[in-house]
Amino acid sequence: MKSRKIARTYLFQVFRHKIYLPFLHLKGFLNDSARNISTQKIFELSDLNIDPSSGTRYETISYKSLRNILKVPFEMSFNQFLDIGCGLGRSIIVAHEIGFKELHGLDISDQLIKMCKDNLIKSKIEAKLTCQDILDYDLPAGDLVIYIFNPFGKERIEFLLNKVKNRSYNTFIIYHNPKHSDSFDSKNLIQQKINKHFGLYDEKTFLYLYE
């Protein structure tokens, strides 16, 4: 029985890494190609001359997942969007396609900001991009949607939350792959989205509202 379980796990992992993940990568690449942009990439922080201890590598999630997630605050009448750790700009582009009017992107890497700008120019999208550490960044005024995909560690997450709590505006936070969700107030959690990917792995997104 134990050997069957091991074999099943092994086969699942082979399928995940050899077939399923390359399939998802291809879908992302095809969606990029349709828009004449390039966002389907992974960058380790060391590749960007950034201390690996300051955050996690750049990667993105699927266009479909982004649309499903971003529709939630948009349907609640939010129209201002900020991606912290915007990378190559996929989430900003999807936010624009959904209908968000004011778009912002923040990243600590000037290399990624430049590539993001190039993608936005190709997409004819206007957004305010800032190359800065979150510790020095002032959140835009007004009701705001913030998207984060683990751009940094627990210390900066808590710093961001203190900024949010001191705002006099409504703030909707989308936290994808929420490694530090224990730093958030559970009373502000309004929804959890979990994509189980056919049992291969769970992709989680937590949605918070601070009023």
Q: What is the pLDDT of residues 130-186, one digit of tens each?
A: 999 999 999 999 999 999 998 888 999 999 999 999 999 999 999 999 999 999 999
Amino acid at 188: N
Residue 127 has φ and ψ, to the nearest 5°, of: -150, 150
Q: Which of 208, 129, 127, 128 is nearest to 170 (CA)?
A: 208
> How high is the pLDDT of residue 50?
66
Q: How far apart are CA 126 and CA 71, in angstroms?
A: 20
DSSP per-residue string spanning 88-130: TSHHHHHHHHHT-SEEEEEES-HHHHHHHHHHHHHHT---EEE
Q: Are 190 and 207 in contact (CB under 8 A)?
A: yes
> How high is the pLDDT of residue 7?
43
What pTM was computed for the model?
0.90
Q: Which of 211, 173, 208, 170 is nearest to 189 (CA)?
A: 208
Q: How far apart are CA 155 and CA 55, in angstroms?
A: 10
